[in-house]
Structure 1
């Protein structure tokens, strides 16, 4: 079964002929190679691009091992370029070639060469890969399947699909596994044998138990505010392990750099400034998060919040946690100051949305609670409550939009 990745195909098409190396990044098994060598190549052919003008090279193919030598590879590419028409050069596992950064930068000097690369070593699976191209790289970051992409391959109702998506996530090989047992086993194997090993090897971490325990704490605390000092205290109290906040901050950065987790900082909506620690962390794939916890903590409230965050990031928004400071006096005349939270403050260009995640709104009191912070924001940007139930989108008297999780996950803002 072929799962279309229309958003990324469009990004590849839009970046054609921009005189930069298109670097496709993302965690392992998210579909980078399939996107480039199947979907994008098929798109090029559908537009009438001659096969001779599409040059492919998979460096992990034993038959191509001689081209891991940069001089032989460059000479080979030059021999295939025989006219002035554009040539599309698609390279997989390019890190297996010696001095690949220099070679790729060299290809940019060929006026009718358009270069696309992906790889799977630790460097390509981290945020610093783009710096290797010294301003000549253009990153296209691929995420696991969105819920909309997931549903294109799922044989069942949206409700059943949503439950499975929250449980097993959106990694394509996991989604295509036919049984729940197969999905569970693959996720556990991928976590232990691939993702964890990548982080350990790249950063030369010797104590993998500490890293795993840290990730378990973050996985258990989705939606909660944490900071390195608080995590350090938890290690000391619960595990009797002394590990400094600075070390934990470094470990968190390693996991973030590998695209496994993302940090959402707190933003004072009225004061228009960032607050700093504590912050929230979300996982790039819920299946990996659940496998890390051995599928023990499957709370829909927190998983739904994580899924909304990932969808907003996939749509290209910068996402923060909003804080609305409220000053007042109680019934006794005593002054108070409290902070109300907005789950997500989302910005993209001149657009902004304030978003709350609510699994259900069974009572007027619950509606009042979920909209309390939104009603105190007096700018003109859209305020949305995403509800885990079916409902027809509607605005209340305060102009707040209520929409179902299914509508949100299947459409773009």
Structure 2
């Protein structure tokens, strides 16, 4: 029996090595991250690469390890999971990858009890690179067992900078003759987002993202949490997708969708946050109790999901731009629990994003697709200035699709910045 287990595991890991070698041989666009790969690999801490499915986590890990002697385990492989035996795995790894220096564990959260096994590997001095697509499992287990022993690298769909690079344009060094192409690319990115597979082949974007969205809801969420009423979970996901950038509360959602329980609605909302599909932005307030009670705003990880799946009667370019700005702020490391919020003034004026550093509000960011309308410009400026007064912040900007200028108004300086420069 033991010999059979070892033989089966050896076959599985040998086949995975063939897959790994194919992946290593492919050409890739290097992602533009702030991390020094050599410095990351030289440190003993676990390298944890997190983010939504299909955003290039495995690719980034392989690029990090491409010229290194590394072993590979892919936990999206049902055969590996069903035949799992810790001792057999270890023996097979040593046989297939003699004297390996690094171990790459891809989508490790699919393995039951993965955290205990990873902890043991770490204690035994194995230099680990891990990828995962579930925020709660990774953050809670890693924080519990491995506090201070890992470095987290976050991956999201392509930024607009990376999207331009794929099309052989440098966002910060555009020549005058490239203006028309840049505007077309920006409009494309606004609607179709930056998932790597769709960037390579735009003609498949909507069908690919529709299938991926369903897979995240049904596989990564419903199956993992053993959700019985999957149609309710899917209805919630579709409702939030169609109402992205809008404020909501669990009570309102339960009522609008006809759910019997607010508690279940909250639970489903958390489930849909875990695979990095949706983000919930709290309303800023110095009093935590009031902040917790206020409606949150919902954002989606990539605009392409909205175009592919959302039930919208018309194209809302303003909300697409707002969502794009939100994802860019997340990409820069801002956190919806500590440093990124929205705000409503006492007179019900709203600013889209409050960026905080520690206890200090460092920047207010308003989003307006088109500032050429005098009425729209006045509305956005008035809201921004009123909120700036209440929050004691003088660093103000409005992100637009194309306009760029500086506005002096009532003692405030407002920088109007096109997204392409934001």
Shared fold by TM > 0.5?
yes
* Superposition deviation, residue 63 in structure 1: 11
Q: Report what 2:19 is aligned to.
A: none
TM-score scaled to structure 2, two decimals?
0.77
Q: Report what 2:176 is aligned to.
A: none
Is 2:279 the counterpart of 1:253?
Answer: no
1:253-402 equivalent positions in 2, closer than 5 A: 253-268=270-285, 274=291, 276-293=293-310, 297-317=314-334, 318-325=339-346, 338-349=347-358, 352-376=362-386, 377-378=388-389, 379-391=392-404, 393-397=405-409, 398-402=412-416
1:6 to 32, 41, 46: 32
* Superposition deviation, residue 67 in structure 1: 9.4
Check the 8 A contact 2:403/2:416 in 1, yes or no.
no
* Superposition deviation, residue 372 in structure 1: 1.4
Cα gap change, 1:227 to 1:281, in 2 (>3 Å): same
* Superposition deviation, residue 56 in structure 1: 3.7
Which consecutive unaligned segments of at least 5 residues does structure 2 have?
1-26, 169-179
Q: Deviations over 1:39-78 (max 9, x none)?
A: 2124xx4xxxxx44x3444466799899953223334667
1:105 to 93, 112, 119: 119
Q: Report what 2:220 is aligned to.
A: 198
* Superposition deviation, residue 222 in structure 1: 2.2
Check the 8 A contact 1:68/1:96 in 2, yes or no.
no
Name the one with the larger strand percent.
1
Which consecutive unaligned segments of at least 5 residues does structure 1 have?
46-50, 236-240, 326-337, 409-413
* Superposition deviation, residue 4 in structure 1: 2.0
Q: Report what 1:185 is aligned to.
A: 207
Cα gap change, 1:351 to 1:323, in 2 (>3 Å): closer
Check the 8 A contact 1:21/1:114 in 2, yes or no.
yes
Between 1:202-211 and 1:248-257, the stretch displaced more is: 202-211
1:151 to 148, 152, 164: 164
Between 1:244-253 and 1:100-109, the stretch displaced more is: 100-109
Aligned length: 370
**For 2:134, what is the secondary structure of its paired residue?**
coil
* Superposition deviation, residue 32 in structure 1: 0.8
1:110-149 equivalent positions in 2, closer than 5 A: 110-111=124-125, 113-119=126-132, 124-133=133-142, 134-135=145-146, 136-149=149-162
Distance between the aligned counterparts of 1:284 and 1:361, measured in 2?
26
Q: Deviations over 1:231-266 (max 9, x none)?
A: 22222xxxxx34322221111111012211000010
Q: Report what 2:7 is aligned to.
A: none
TM-score scaled to structure 1, two decimals?
0.79
Is 2:55 the counterpart of 1:34?
Answer: no
Distance between the aligned counterparts of 2:73 and 2:288, measured in 1?
53
Distance between the aligned counterparts of 2:220 and 2:81, measured in 1?
23
Distance between the aligned counterparts of 2:343 and 2:268, measured in 1?
25
Distance between the aligned counterparts of 2:230 and 2:111, measured in 1?
30
Check the 8 A contact 1:265/1:321 in 2, yes or no.
yes
Name the one with the larger helix percent.
2
* Superposition deviation, residue 348 in structure 1: 4.2
Distance between the aligned counterparts of 2:286 and 2:71, measured in 1?
50
**For 1:115, what is the secondary structure of its paired residue?**
strand
Distance between the aligned counterparts of 2:152 and 2:159, measured in 1?
19
1:224 to 237, 246, 251: 246
Is 2:181 the counterpart of 1:165?
Answer: no
Distance between the aligned counterparts of 1:139 and 1:311, measured in 2?
18
Q: Report what 1:330 is aligned to.
A: none
Q: Deviations over 1:286-329 (max 9, x none)?
A: 2123322267543101111111001001101132011222xxxx
Cα gap change, 1:272 to 1:152, in 2 (>3 Å): farther
Cα gap change, 1:339 to 1:307, in 2 (>3 Å): same
Distance between the aligned counterparts of 1:381 and 1:11, measured in 2?
34
Q: Report what 1:92 is aligned to.
A: 106
Distance between the aligned counterparts of 2:109 and 2:275, measured in 1?
16
Q: Deviations over 1:129-148 (max 9, x none)?
A: 23334124443221111111
**For 2:283, what is the secondary structure of its paired residue?**
strand
Cα gap change, 1:65 to 1:263, in 2 (>3 Å): closer
Cα gap change, 1:405 to 1:66, in 2 (>3 Å): closer
Distance between the aligned counterparts of 1:93 and 1:225, measured in 2?
32
